Amino acid sequence: MAYDQQWRFDREALPADTEMGIAVEDRTAPHGLKLMIEDYPFANDGLMLWDALKQWVADYVNYYYKDSSMVRSDTELQAWWTEIRTKGHEDKKDEPWWPVLKKPEGIIGTIITIVWVASAHHSAVNFGQYAFAGYFPNRPSIARTNMPCEDPTEERWKRFLDNPGSELLACFPSQIQATKSYGYSTCVIKSFSG
């Protein structure tokens, strides 16, 4: 499945994300959703954060936009949203699922989705990768040879069975290549962590 072909703005909000098989709508449950897996930290913690962010965004939007006419007449807001849809996501600009910004509720839903994706969601799916990927053998940036299990010759397969460690190490980059790759990764990570 190609992610970009499946991407939809209206499914990026956490409640919409959790409804895809891990939750069902339940007005009596906290956050309006009953989780199918009760001990699911991403959803449990995420929904608490979602509600806090939503309240903050709602308070802010409702302070500046008292009614729908103020939303519709805000040319900067409408131009910003048009640019996001038509330039930022040009390949999906004509999709029917884009929210329409005509009411304060529409702005709240749109902004909270953007804030969620750019903050908590991104943190949840990306920051945990460093502990795994920072250890070079888990994720070498390049391989000098095919992995031992990829199209092995009879001789190479025998060498692998005799000494799997040395055959695996032969695939890894040299120390200088590994050091450079680790350095680049560390610089990128540090630049985003403040």
DSSP assignment of 39-98: S-HHHHHHHHHHHHHHHHHHHHHHHH--SHHHHHT-HHHHHHHHHIIIIITGGGTT-TTS
Q: Give the SS3 label for residue 183.
A: helix
**Sign for the pseudo-dihedral over CA of 158, 159, 160, 163:** positive
Mean pLDDT of the chain: 82
Q: Which of 30-39, 99-108, 134-143, 163-172 has the highest mean pLDDT?
A: 99-108
Report pLDDT digits (tens) over 60-105.
999 999 999 999 999 999 999 999 999 999 999 999 999 999 999 9
Task: Give the integer Cα–Cα distance in Å for 24 and 37.
Answer: 11
* Per-residue model confidence (pLDDT) at position 149: 66
**Sign for the pseudo-dihedral over CA of 63, 69, 73, 76:** positive
8 A C-beta contact, residue 97 and residue 113:
no
Q: Give the SS3 label for residue 25.
A: strand
Report pLDDT digits (tens) over 135-159.
666 666 677 777 666 677 888 888 8
Strand partners, 23: 35
In the predicted model, is pLDDT for residue 2 greater than 60? no
